Amino acid sequence: MAAPDPTASAADQLAYYQDKIKQVFAEVGKVVVGQQYMVNRLLIGLFTGGHILLEGVPGLAKTLTISTLSKVLHLHFQRVQFTPDLLPSDLVGTMIYNQNQSEFQVKKGPIFANLVLADEVNRSPAKVQSALLEAMQEKQVTIGETTYPLDLPFLVLATQNPVEQEGTYPLPEAQVDRFMMKVYVDYLKKADELEVMRRMANLSYVGEVSPVLTKEDVFGVRGLINQVQISETLEKYIVELVFATRKPAEYDLAEFAQYVQFGVSPRASIALHRAAKAVAFFDSRDYVLPEDIKEVATDVLNHRILLNYEAEADGIRTQDLIEAILKKVPIS
């Protein structure tokens, strides 16, 4: 299908990009088996400008999925392996003295890319993790006394092992909040694992993918998602969901009130709004349904709710609170 003219109707542009997105899933599927949910969430982040944090035990193809997706998206990609000895300058860059010219020159780090894979981000101490803050939030990096804007689109896709694994450092609260969604990656189904085993047992197997999207396509999709309509009723519903995490007792959730130390920040409202629009777009609609909000609520809210030690002792999870909120908070 040929690219639509900029003056083409919204329907023609929608049809074109819907076909492109199907091609993206097909291309990624040539290499990665059974991780459509993860790919969906990564694309939502890309098309809404939100960073994504993936958490799962080693071996679930988190890194492979992101690296494969970068090839399909045809965007500048950099991978940073986070280790205990990584320095902030290894990430953002530093000043290097040039003896020939007798002056300091800037050597930019791997953060200067469209897609940055922060692999095993919780393997480095907080000082290195916080080096991502300015880049993620402000889309710029300061080296020495000069601030450099990052090339857009800019997206951080981070992976981490569960914090109870040995040799990991939990991400600071301010850092976690800057991720639009935290996606838990689970084990594959039996049929998918069988296919993975068969592919990888063939030592000559090489999964080749072709570029599908361009940088211009990414901004084209963003423009269409921005045009998706969401009613005032659903906007108020999002706000009610957010407030229910802060004051559960006011929403007939008194049994959870003793466990909540902090509810979600205003970034959660923005993320729910954007993600719900993206879900509607993926479903070929130009309007948001309540189901769109509920579909992304867990991924948007789970890492922003801070429960106390009493909740841990009683076996209460953030997932339990979110499920209860979705059942209790009405749409009015």
Q: What is the CATH classification number for the domain harbouring 317?
A: 1.10.8.80
Domain membership of residue 171 as a residue range: 10-203+212-220
Task: Say whether both 103 and 187 belong to one domain.
Answer: yes
Task: Say whether both 195 and 103 belong to one domain.
Answer: yes
CA distance 245 to 306: 10
Name the residue among 79, 65, 89 with its Cα closest to residue 116.
Answer: 79
Task: Say whether both 162 and 233 belong to one domain.
Answer: no
**Contact present, 111 and 135 (Cβ < 8 Å):** yes
> How many CA atoms lie within 13 Å of 276's alpha carbon, on the beta-carbon side?
23
Task: Say whether both 187 and 249 belong to one domain.
Answer: no
- Tens digit of pLDDT at every position of the chain (332 positions): 555 666 667 778 888 898 999 999 999 988 888 889 999 999 999 999 999 999 988 888 888 898 899 899 988 999 999 988 888 889 988 878 777 777 778 888 899 999 999 998 888 887 788 778 778 888 888 888 888 899 989 999 998 887 666 667 778 787 889 999 999 998 989 999 898 888 878 776 667 888 899 888 999 999 999 999 999 999 999 999 999 999 999 999 999 999 999 999 999 999 999 999 999 999 989 999 999 999 999 999 999 999 999 998 999 999 999 999 999 999 87
CA distance 317 to 35: 24
Total Cβ atoms within 10 A of residue 139: 14
Number of domains forming the structure of the chain: 2
Name the residue among 209, 138, 181 with its Cα closest to residue 279.
Answer: 181
In a domain, 2, yes or no: no
Domain termination site, one of 169, 193, 220: 220
In a domain, 122, yes or no: yes
Q: What is the CATH classification number for the domain harbouring 133?
A: 3.40.50.300
In a domain, 257, yes or no: yes
Task: Say whether both 232 and 115 belong to one domain.
Answer: no
CA distance 227 to 54: 28
Task: Say whether both 261 and 130 belong to one domain.
Answer: no
Task: Say whether both 178 and 35 belong to one domain.
Answer: yes
* Cis, peptide link before residue 153, omega less than 30° from 0: yes
Domain termination site, one of 172, 193, 220: 220
Domain termination site, one of 192, 220, 248: 220
Task: Say whether both 69 and 143 belong to one domain.
Answer: yes
pTM of the model: 0.90
In a domain, 270, yes or no: yes
Q: How far is CA 171 from CA 54, 116, 195, in A?
A: 13, 17, 34
Task: Say whether both 22 and 148 belong to one domain.
Answer: yes
Task: Say whether both 240 and 179 belong to one domain.
Answer: no
Task: Say whether both 77 and 184 belong to one domain.
Answer: yes
